Structure 1
Amino acid sequence: MTRSERPASINDELVFLPLGGTGEIGMNFNLYGYGPATKRKWLAIDLGITFPDASEPGIDVIMPDPIFIEGERENLLGLVLTHAHEDHIGAVAHLWERLRCPVYATPFTAAMLRGKLAEAGLLNDVPLHEVPLGGHLQLGPFDLTFVTLTHSIPEPNAIAIRTPLGNVMHTGDWKIDDAPQIGDVTDIKTLTAFGDEGVRAIVCDSTNVLSPGRSGSEADVRKNLTALIGTLKGRVAVTTFASNLARLSTIMKAAEANGRHTVLVGRSMHKVTSAARETGYLKDVPTPVSEEDAGFLPPDNVLYLCTGSQGEARAALSRIADDSHRHIALSKGDTVIFSSKIIPGNELPIFELHNRLSERGIDVLTEKDHDVHVSGHPCRDELIQMYQWIRPELSIPVHGEPRHLLAHAELANELQVPEQLVLRNGLMARIAPGPAQVIDDVPAGRLHLDGRVLVRAGEAPLRERRQMSFAGHVVVSLVVDDDGKLLADPEVACEGIPDLEEGLSVEDTCREAADDAVSRMRKSAARDDAAVAEAARRAVRGRLRFLWDKKPPVRVLVTRV
Structure 2
Amino acid sequence: MTPSSSDLVFLPLGGTGEIGMNMNLYGHDGQWLMVDCGVTFPKPGRVSADGTRHYSGEPETQMPDPAFIEARKDQLAGLIITHAHEDHVGAVPYLWHKLRCPIYCTRFTAEVLKKKLAEHGLLHQVKIIIPETGERLHIGPFDVQWLALTHSIPDPNALMIRTPVGNVFHTGDWKLDPDPVVGHGYKEETYRQLAEEGVLAMVCDSTNATVNGHSFSEGALYDGLRKYIEGAKGRVIVTCFGSNIARLVTLSQIGDDTGRYMGLYGRSMVNMYNCAKRAGVWPYNAGTVETSHLGYLPRHEVLAVATGSQGEPRTALRRLAAGTHPDFDLDPGDRVIFSARAIPGNEEAIEGLIKQLQARGVEVITADDVDIPIHASGHPAQEELETLYKWVQPEIAIPVHGEEEHMRAHAGLAKGCGVPRTMTGRNGDIFMLSPVPGIQRQKVQTGRLGYEKGGLVKVV
Same fold (TM over 0.5): yes
Which one of the candidate residues 412, 418, 421 is aligned to 2:420? 418
Q: CA deviation at 1:289?
A: 1.4
Match of 1:430 in 2: 432
CA contact under 8 A between 1:21 and 1:29: conserved in structure 2? Answer: yes
**Quick one: distance in 1 between partners of 2:148 and 2:286?**
27
Q: Which residue of 2 aligns with 1:158?
A: 158
Aligned 8 A contact 1:448 1:456 in 2: yes
**Corresponding residue for 2:326?**
326
Where 1:138 maps in the other structure, the secondary structure is strand
Say whether the 8 Å CA contact 1:160–1:168 is kept in structure 2.
yes
Q: Indicate whether 1:19 and 2:10 are aligned.
A: no
Q: Which residue of 1 aligns with 2:450?
A: 448
Deviation of the 1:451 alpha carbon: 3.3
Q: Find the counterpart in structure 2 of residue 235 from structure 1.
A: 235
Contact 2:4 2:28 in 1 (8 A): no
**Partner residue, 1:42:** 32
SS of 1:364's partner is strand
Distance 1:332 1:412, change over 3 A: same
Give the alignment of 1:1-20 within 5 angstroms. 12-20=6-14
Amino acid at match of 1:315: T
Question: Does residue 1:170 correspond to 2:160, yes or no?
Answer: no
CA distance in 2, matches of 1:217, 1:291: 29
In the TM superposition, what are the counterparts of 1:324-403 in structure 2 within 5 Å? 324-370=324-370, 371-403=373-405
Q: Which amino acid aligns with 2:227?
A: A
Looking at structure 2, the residues matched to 303 and 435 of structure 1 have their Cα atoms a distance apart, in angstroms, of 54
Decide which moves more: 182-191 or 216-225: 182-191
Q: CA deviation at 1:129?
A: 1.1
Amino acid at match of 1:228: Y
Give the distance between the partners of 2:387 and 2:334, measured in 1 at CA: 43
In the aligned structure 2, how far is the partner of 1:172 from the partner of 1:399? 9
| Counterpart secondary structure, 2:214 | coil
Question: 1:226 & 1:318 partners in 2: Cα distance?
Answer: 24
User: Given the superposition, is the C-alpha separation of residues 91 and 227 from structure 1 closer, same or farther in structure 2, using an over 3 Å criterion?
Assistant: same
Supply the distance in 2 between the matched residues of 1:253 and 1:70 (Cα, whole angstroms). 47
SS at match of 2:283: coil
**2:48 counterpart residue number:** none
Q: Which residue of 2 aligns with 1:262?
A: 262
Partner of 1:109: 109
List per-residue Cα deviations over 1:6-47 (Å, max 9, x = no partner).
Answer: xxx986200000000000000000000002xxxx20000000
Report if the CA contact (8 A) 1:15-1:431 is conserved: yes
- Call closer, same or farther: CA 1:362–1:439 in 2, change over 3 Å: closer
Distance 1:219 1:440 in 2: 43
Structure 2 SS opposite 1:374: coil
Q: What secondary structure does 2:250 align onto?
A: helix
CA shift, 1:87, in A, is 0.4
Aligned residue number for residue 27 of structure 2: 33
The code of the aligned residue for 1:382 comes to: E
Q: What one-letter code is carried by the residue in structure 1 that aligns with 2:444?
A: V
How has the CA–CA distance of structure 1 residues 96 and 385 changed in structure 2, closer, same or farther, with 3 Å as cutoff? same
- The aligned counterpart of 2:118 is 118
SS at 2:78's partner residue?
Answer: strand
CA pair 286-387 structure 1, distance change in 2 beyond 3 A: closer
Deviations 1:507-554 (A, max 9, x none): xxxxxxxxxxxxxxxxxxxxxxxxxxxxxxxxxxxxxxxxxxxxxxxx
Match for 2:56: what amino acid? P
* Secondary structure, aligned partner of 2:449: strand
Q: Is the CA contact 1:429–1:440 (under 8 Å) kept in the aligned structure 2?
A: no
Is 1:457 equivalent to 2:456 in the alignment? no
Distance 1:103 1:394 in 2: 28
- The worse-fitting range, judged by mean Cα deviation, of 95-104 and 281-290 is 281-290
Preserved contact between residue 430 and residue 439 of structure 1 (Cα < 8 Å): no
Q: 2:283 maps to what in 1?
A: 283
Matches within 5 A, 1:481-500: none
1:293-318 alpha-carbon deviations (Å, 9 max, x no partner): 11221111110010010001110000
**Residues 221 and 373 in structure 1, CA contact (< 8 A), matched pair in contact too:** yes
Tell me which of the two structures has the higher relative contact order, counting C-alpha pairs closer than 8 angstroms and 6 or more residues apart: 2
Deviation at 1:433, TM superposition (A): 1.2
Q: Which has the larger radius of gyration?
A: 1
TM-superposed deviation, 1:286: 3.9
Asked if structure 2 preserves the Cα contact closer than 8 Å seen for 1:151 and 1:376, the reply is yes
Q: How does 1:65-214 map to 2 (within 5 A)?
A: 65-214=65-214
Match for 2:451: what amino acid? L
Matching residue's letter, 2:132: P
Q: Secondary structure at the match of 1:444?
A: coil
Give the alignment of 1:404-553 within 5 angstroms: 404-438=406-440, 441-458=443-460
Q: How many Å separate the matches in 2 of 1:10 and 1:22?
A: 24
1:327/1:427 CA distance change after superposition, 3 Å: same
Structure 1 contact 60–451 (Cα < 8 Å) conserved: no
- Counterpart CA distance in 2 for 1:136 and 1:167 is 14
Work out the CA distance in 2 between the residues paired with 1:313 and 1:440: 36
**How far did residue 291 of structure 1 move?**
2.0
State the one-letter code of the partner of 1:444. Answer: T
2:308 counterpart residue number: 308
Other structure's SS at 1:441 match: coil
User: Contact 1:395/1:409 (CA < 8 Å) preserved in 2?
Assistant: yes
CA gap of 1:91–1:11, structure 2 versus 1, over 3 A, is: closer
Q: Any conservation in 2 of the 1:147–1:187 contact (CA below 8 Å)?
A: no
Identity %: 47
Deviation at 1:283, TM superposition (A): 2.2
**CA distance, structure 2, for counterparts of residue 430 and residue 77 of structure 1:** 19
Question: Could you tell me how far 1:204 is from its partner in structure 2?
Answer: 0.1
Shift, 1:256, TM fit: 1.4
Q: What per-residue deviation string (whole Å, max 9, x for no partner) do you get for residues 360-414 of structure 1?
A: 1000000001221011000000000010111000000000001111111111111
For the 8 Å contact 1:291–1:328, the answer to whether it is kept is no
State the distance in 1 between where 2:439 and 2:335 align.
54
Gaps of 5+ in 1: 1-8, 459-561
CA distance in 1, matches of 2:188, 2:286: 33
Return the alpha-carbon distance in structure 2 between the equivalents of residues 254 and 10 of structure 1: 56
In 2: Cα distance, 1:243 partner to 1:316 partner: 15
8 Å contact from structure 1 (residues 249, 285) kept in 2: no
Superimposed CA distance per residue, residues 86-133 of structure 1 (whole angstroms, 9 cap, x where no aligned partner): 000000011000000000000000000000000010000011111112
Q: Residues 167 and 198 of structure 1 are in contact (CA less than 8 Å); yes or no, is this contact kept in structure 2?
A: yes
**Conserved? CA contact 1:167–1:200, under 8 Å:** yes
TM-score relative to the length of structure 2: 0.95
Per the normalisation by structure 1, the TM-score is: 0.78
Partner letter of residue 106 of structure 2?
T
Which amino acid is 1:21 matched to? G
2:414 match: secondary structure:
helix
